[in-house]
């Protein structure tokens, strides 16, 4: 079974803090993704990575950065957290194989509250 884990289920941070959200997958997938989920807006892509040290902006990258130093780990960084970044953050991974590459496997999510 593919397993995608996220470092915290719930996180409370103060405005201006630097926040790290960690995601680890154990299936040697090349692609990894960070989404945020908000009521009425569905899931929106923040950043994705298709290889170690490679990253591309998604639809809403402002206020975020990412790091992928190892294939299994993809970190989302909020340089200076703001209240409008209070949200559910979901990490996903997918393989590059032609047959499976469209299927994304999701972690359980981190509910971040910025006060």
- Which residues in this chain contact another protein in the complex, by CB under 8 A? 9, 31, 33, 40-45, 48, 50, 56, 58, 88, 90, 92, 94, 101-109, 111
CB of 14 to another protein, least distance (A): 24
If the CB atoms of residues 85 and 94 are measured against another protein, the closer one turns out to be 94
- Closest separation between CB of residue 62 and another protein, Å? 17
Per-residue DSSP letters for the chain? ---EEES-SEEEE-TT--EEEEEEESS--SEEEEEEEETTTEEEEEEEEEETTEEEE-S--TTEEEEEEETTEEEEEESS--GGG-EEEEEEEE--STTTTT--EE---EEEEE-
């Amino acid at each position: 079974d593919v397993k995608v884990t996220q470092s915290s289920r719930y996180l409370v941070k103060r405005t201006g803090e630097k926040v790290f959200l960690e995601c680890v997958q154990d299936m040697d997938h090349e692609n990894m993704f960070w989404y945020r989920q908000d009521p009425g807006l569905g899931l929106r892509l923040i950043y994705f990575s298709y290889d170690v040290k490679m990253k591309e902006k998604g639809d809403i990258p402002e206020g975020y950065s990412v790091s992928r130093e190892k294939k299994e780990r993809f970190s989302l960084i909020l340089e200076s957290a703001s209240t409008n970044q209070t949200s559910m953050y979901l990490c996903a991974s997918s393989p590059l194989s032609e047959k499976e590459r469209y299927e994304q496997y999701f972690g359980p999510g981190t509910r971040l509250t910025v006060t």
